[in-house]
Structure 1
Amino acid sequence: MKFSDFAGSGEQVSRIGFGAMGLGGALGAYSENELVRSVLHSLDRGVTFIDTARAYGDSERLVGKALKEWKGEKPFLASKVMSLGPGSVGWGTPIPVESAYPAGWLKESTEISLRELGVDTIDLMQLHQFWPQWSKKDYWMEELLRLKEEGKIRYVGVSLPDQRHDIALSLVQSGTIDAVQTVFNIFDPLPLDCLIPFCEENDVAFIARCVMDEGGLSGFLTEESTFEDGDYRKSYFDYVPRNMYIERINRLRKFIPQYADNLAELAIKFVLQHPGVTTALVSMHVPAYANQNIAALDKEPLPDHVFEEIFRYHRWVRNFYDTKFW
């Protein structure tokens, strides 16, 4: 396992993190026992960063159940306050902060998370949505800082709602937050332009999500792949004709096996190439996925010319909220 400094604090976290959305059933149905075992397996393999959310169904509860069984050192726990915006409102387009996080809700949601996780303190609490208009209101930040003072959380951050990475630049420079989480992968490398360097300069942790593009960058998708109702991926890969998605994936196979043993390894190597990336969240609710993802950390980094080629010629920025929510 490799580690990085979290937000200039000197505290070390694993450079690959357990993305716990899959524990809530969003990526297929698994038994509770299987899901708890997956958390324990990843911790045993050296993962020390777990990212969950109030909105991820049973995810917090299952993480908490795993932690009760875990005998090792407590991992770094990150969660997110659930937005109260009705339905899908607030993801594709902004809503008032008072609608998403009315006064008192951050405290209430955090206390629910603490109970579900079975802990006294959550290391990082994030807003699950953030829009730059909200910076004009300061009550939500005051609530987060009050939770820090009470010892219920240790760091504060935001998770950006979609691929518009630039909306967090002023917040990163403000000195008021400790972490930003957003989409970053081979198809969407735009955080490298501004957000990651800004985070590095301001001692703000950068947390990469959708590293595998919901699994697509692992190369598993075929024309015949189907997904059950309730699976987050059911419409995700059909934003464009599926053969177009598969063709984009196949273009990346030229780098296999010379520069990576498989496409998943290539995706992880690409995201972790920049030292400003604190941790990359990947789904590890299946132990075999965890083993493959963690193994990527022991491999040689991508040569500069390969990284540059992928960065320049394999980007394919798509905002799936166009079809999900607009």
Structure 2
Amino acid sequence: MKYNAFGKLGTEVSRLGFGAMGLGGVFGQYDEKDLVRSVLHSLEKGVNFIDTARNYGESERILGLALREWKGKKPFIASKIQSRGPGNLGWGKPIPVESAFPQGWLRESTETSLRLLGVDTIDLIQLHQYWPQWDRVDYWMDELLQLKQEGKIRGIGVSLPDQRHDIVLPLVQSGKIDSVQTVFHIFDPLPLDCLIPICQENNVAVIARCILDEGGLTGFLKEDTLFEEGDFRKSYFDYMPRGLYIERVNRLKEAFVPKYAESLAELAIKFVLHHPGVTAAISSMHVPRYADENIAAVDREPLPEEAFEEIRQHHRWVRNFYETKYWQ
């Protein structure tokens, strides 16, 4: 495993992080004991960065069970404050910060996370969505700074709602936050244009999420793939003909696998970790086999620059899931 300093906080975190969304059942139902074991397995393999959220069902509680069993050094824990907004909850279009995070809610959500995780301090607390209009008011940042002063959190970050990566640049340059979490994968390399280099210049950590495009960049998706009821991927992949997605994936396989990577997933992970401004990339490792495959990718030879640029320039295919979900 390889490690990076987490921005201004300085803590060394694994470049590949455990994305705990899968602990909440969005990718199918698993036995709780198996989920706890998956966390412990990743920690044993050198992963020391875990990202969860209040909005991920039972994720924080299950993660808390794993942390109580873990005998090694405490991992870096990041969580996100659940928004309370009506209607679309601010994912598809901006809503007032007073609706998403009313006064007092940031503290209430954070204290719930602390209790479920069974920790005294959360290393990084993130707004689970962010819109630049919110910078016109100060109370939400003041509440986060108060939590930091009390020792309940160490760092402050924001998680961007969709592919509009550049909306956070003024906040990054303000010096008020420690991290940004954003969608970043082979089909969506847009953070490379502005967000990642500007975060790097301002010593703001970048957490890349959806690095395997909800599993699509593992090559698992077939025309006849079935999803369980409640599986997030059913609506994610089926808002367009599956053949379009499969065709794009096959192009990548033909051009780069096995020449530059042993698998499509390895190629996707190498691509996201190529830029030194990416502090950590998170993927769902709720199945130990997934964890082993993803961790192995980090330790292999990086992509040559020419392969990275070929992918960046000729395989981009930016799709905003929320455009379809909310604007049909």
Same fold (TM over 0.5): yes
C-alpha distance in 1, partners of 2:242/2:59?
Answer: 30
Task: Report how far residue 87 of structure 1 moved.
Answer: 4.5
Task: Report how far residue 195 of structure 1 moved.
Answer: 0.2
C-alpha distance in 1, partners of 2:297/2:262?
Answer: 9
Aligned to 1:186: 186
Structure 2: gaps of 5 or more residues: none
Task: Report how far residue 324 of structure 1 moved.
Answer: 1.7
- The alignment's TM-score, normalised by the length of structure 1, stands at 0.99
C-alpha distance in 2, partners of 1:264/1:156?
Answer: 30
Structure 1: gaps of 5 or more residues: none
| 1:89 and 2:89 matched | yes
Aligned to 1:40: 40
Task: Report how far residue 5 of structure 1 moved.
Answer: 0.8
C-alpha distance in 1, partners of 2:324/2:31?
Answer: 31
* Contact map agreement 2:9 2:178 (CA 8 A) in 1: no
Task: Report how far residue 268 of structure 1 moved.
Answer: 0.3
Task: Report how far residue 86 of structure 1 moved.
Answer: 2.2
| 1:80 and 2:80 matched | yes
C-alpha distance in 2, partners of 1:241/1:313?
Answer: 21
- Other structure's SS at 2:208 match: strand
Q: Deviations over 1:237-270 (max 9, x none)?
A: 1222100000000010121111000000000000
Task: Report how far residue 88 of structure 1 moved.
Answer: 2.8
C-alpha distance in 2, partners of 1:95/1:233?
Answer: 26
Q: Deviations over 1:215-237 (max 9, x none)?
A: 00000000000111111101111
C-alpha distance in 1, partners of 2:42/2:303?
Answer: 24
Q: Deviations over 1:97-128 (max 9, x none)?
A: 00000000000000000000000000000000
Runs of 4+ in 1 over 3 A off after TM superposition: none
- The alignment's TM-score, normalised by the length of structure 2, stands at 0.98
- Counterpart mapping for 1:1-326 below 5 A: 1-253=1-253, 254-326=255-327
Moved more, 237-246 or 216-225: 237-246
Give 1:104's aligned amino acid.
G
After superposition, the CA RMSD in angstroms is: 0.7
Alignment: residue pair count: 326
Task: Report how far residue 166 of structure 1 moved.
Answer: 0.6
- Other structure's SS at 2:4 match: strand
- Other structure's SS at 2:9 match: coil
C-alpha distance in 1, partners of 2:21/2:87?
Answer: 18
Give 2:91's aligned amino acid.
W
Give 1:16's aligned amino acid.
L
